[in-house]
């Protein structure tokens, strides 16, 4: 009985530490959340935000970045140069020889979509940590007018913990 109480106590302390670290460090929160997402897609290739940031304009010609978030989320901001899922699907044939990098808020919805694209034979990747990882890596966002914006749709209130130096919308 004492051992059970000890393990429960250690577990509770661990959860409290994770919660505090997540509140203090948005980066920690995003990394921890994405680690859980990756469990669902262990065999799906991912593309890091830093790698996407480091692509030159010439290299970027070989890639297409697809935002699978809802229109309401996209109306707040998108990764500059990305297209929405509907546009991608309407022009599907023109992207056959491109590397497709798919993103959402953290990588869960995009993981499912990237997996489906790979099953169709496309060279698709899940953007690690999604749009939240993108802003934490120093990537900029644009609004519907193409202007740089500090606003990012975080899907729901708990994801507000993942944002620093940006305005969270949910």
Domain boundaries, the chain: 26-169
Residue 2 pLDDT: 57
Mean of all residue pLDDT scores within the chain = 88
Residue 50 pLDDT: 97
pTM value surpassing 0.95: no
- Note the pLDDT tens digit of each residue in 90-130: 999 999 999 999 999 999 999 999 999 999 999 999 999 99
Residues paired with 125 in a beta bridge: 101
Reply yes or no on whether the pLDDT at 156 is more than 60. yes
Q: Give the residue, 30 or 112, on which the prediction is more confident.
A: 112
Rounded Cα gap, residues 168 and 153, in angstroms: 6
Residue 10 pLDDT: 53
Superfamily of domain 26-169: Rhodanese-like domain (3.40.250.10)
Residue 109 and residue 44 in contact, taking contact as beta carbons nearer than 8 Å: no
Q: Give the residue, 101 or 161, on which the prediction is more confident.
A: 101
Residue 134 pLDDT: 96
Residues paired with 124 in a beta bridge: 100
Residue 1 pLDDT: 58
């Amino acid at each position: 009985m004492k051992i059970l109480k000890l393990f429960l106590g250690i577990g509770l302390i661990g959860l409290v530490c994770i919660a505090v670290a997540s509140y203090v460090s948005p980066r920690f929160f995003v990394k921890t959340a994405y680690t859980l997402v990756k469990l669902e897609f262990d065999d799906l290739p991912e593309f890091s935000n830093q790698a996407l940031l480091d692509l030159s304009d010439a290299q970027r010609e070989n890639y297409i970045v697809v935002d699978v978030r809802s229109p309401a989320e996209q109306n707040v901001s998108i990764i500059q140069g990305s297209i929405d899922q509907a546009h991608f699907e309407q022009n599907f044939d023109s992207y056959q020889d491109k590397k497709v990098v798919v993103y959402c808020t953290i990588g869960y919805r995009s993981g499912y979509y990237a997996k489906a694209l790979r099953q169709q034979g496309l060279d698709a990747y899940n953007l690690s940590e999604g749009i939240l990882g993108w802003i934490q890596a120093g990537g900029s966002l644009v609004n519907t007018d193409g202007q740089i914006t500090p606003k990012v749709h975080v899907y729901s209130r708990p994801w507000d913990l993942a944002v620093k130096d940006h305005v969270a919308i949910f």
